[in-house]
Amino acid sequence: MDNNLLLIPLIILLVGGFVMVFLTIKGKHSQGKARSVMTEYVRNEIPILRNTNFDVINLLDNSLNAQHIWVFAYNLDGMYLIPTTTNPFTQTMKRYEGETHYNLTDFMPYSGINTVTIDRNKKRIEICIGDISQTFRYQNKDCYGATQEKTIEHFFNYLEKLIVL
């Protein structure tokens, strides 16, 4: 066996390690970047929110193979859910263009939400509207790798004030 063939897996491991270190460092220095990019993204996607105050958070689909994230834009009127794909290298966002109904923007008025269940151990949020239930996962890091624990707590407190959990 040629010893040069052993270099290929070694090079792949080195490149993979370099990419992981690069994304970790970039994530630590991108505090607040995802939130500002999401805010601008929502203003472009939902014209009615251009002149209003709202907060944003990103949540994951509750599946093993999530293909996109959900950008939640919420204010006193309700929550807007936009399916989005992100690129942590260029720190950009674009609308997810899947072949299902997930490429539509959903609006959830607070009056239509029956229950909200927050499972902090499994890091899940379940929102029930009528007899339809949607489950989302959340992470302690945003879509660009910066911590978003305070943003998540703010979102939970906001939901608890508006909806009886």
Question: Which residue from 61, 74, 62, 156 is spatially nearest to 116, judged by alpha carbons?
Answer: 156
Return per-residue pLDDT of the chain as tens, 165 residues.
678 888 888 999 999 999 888 877 776 766 677 788 889 999 998 888 999 999 998 888 776 666 788 888 999 888 998 888 887 777 778 878 766 555 567 888 888 888 888 898 999 999 888 888 888 998 888 777 778 888 899 998 888 887 754
Give the gyration radius of the chain's Cα atoms. Answer: 19
Beta bridge partners of 115: 128
Q: pTM for this one?
A: 0.72
Angle (CA) 136 48 54, round 5°: 50
Domain at 31-162: CATH code? 2.30.29.30
